[in-house]
A = this chain, B = another copy of it.
Amino acid sequence: MDESNFQNVTANRKVLPERVAQQIIDLIISRNLKSGDKLPNEFELGALLNVGRGTVREAIKSLVARNVLIIKRGKGTFISKHPGMVDDPFGFAFFNDKLKLAFDLWEVRMQLEPWVAAIAAQRADDADIAQIKARCLQVENDILDGIDHLPDDVKFHVSIARSTKNVVIPNLIPVITYSVGLFGELNNNKLRTETIITHRAILDAIAAHDSEGAQKAMIDHLNQNKITLDALRKEGNDTKEACETT
């Protein structure tokens, strides 16, 4: 999103179904409807917003695509689990240079995640620590069982983010840890062992409310990822050189 999109948030030049979609969002907020609550049916919404059912249906479809609503066949339309939060919100899938993207994500992670770990260590309560520990163990089990640990790896980082009690950070972290998924290929056994060790160090520091230790452990963890990225870049350059010399 750049500023031209940002301005759209308040733009009034929207077509009718988009305006109705915004009115439905306003209705959800004003009626304080929560995840899982049922939306009034198309007929009621049409009467309420003074538009035809076709327009209501269009607006609902666009809110389904934006992950605000979910349609359960034969049951009605409901508020989704995390309304308005979408997969890949920044459109990273559309970036052509994935290696540049991975480096830039890493740069942002390096600025955010050690700080997140530090404030998590200050603010985590017993329930937070129990959850971080459970997810740390889950990643270890995945690795030992030889199954893909990346989904649980993201969950581990999100549980640290939640411990900060800041409502914005748990939304940011999965987006920037997206980079984790960008370099599965170089994942060898040495790196997996290092993941277990550095995750443990982060967990232990947070559990001990050791802010400085948590920050340092997260930096170590991210530096490990950087080694992978550098190796991938070198691999890419070697391939390029090989192609240029043949």
Interface residue ranges, A against B (CB under 8 Å): 1-10, 25, 28-29, 32, 61-68, 81-96, 100-101, 104-105, 107-108, 111-112, 115, 151, 154-155, 158, 166-172, 174-176, 178, 181
Contacts and interface: CB of A to CB of B under 8 A. Distances in A.
Contacts of A170: 2
A8 to B, nearest CB: 5
Contacts of A66: 65-66, 86
A171 B6 CA distance: 10
A8 B178 CA distance: 13
Number of copies of this chain that the complex holds: 2
Nearest to A116: B111
Given A29-B93, A62-B65, A151 B3 contact: yes
A188 to B, nearest CB: 22
B65 A171 contact: no
Contact of A174 (B2, B82, B104): B2
Nearest to A25: B93
7 contacts: A1-B171, A2-B82, A3-B155, A4-B82, A5-B174, A83-B94, A85-B91
A85 B168 contact: no
Contacts of A65: 61-63, 65-66
A61 B60 CA distance: 12
Majority SS of interface residues in chain A?
Answer: helix
Nearest to A103: B166
Given A62-B65, A89-B89, A94-B29, A82 B112 contact: no
Contacts of A10: 181
A91 B84 contact: yes
Nearest to A91: B84
A107 B1 contact: no
Contacts of A105: 168
A176 B168 contact: yes
A7 B90 contact: no
B104 A168 contact: yes
A29 B86 CA distance: 19
| Among A3, A101, A174, residue most surrounded by chain B Cβ atoms (within 10 Å) | A3
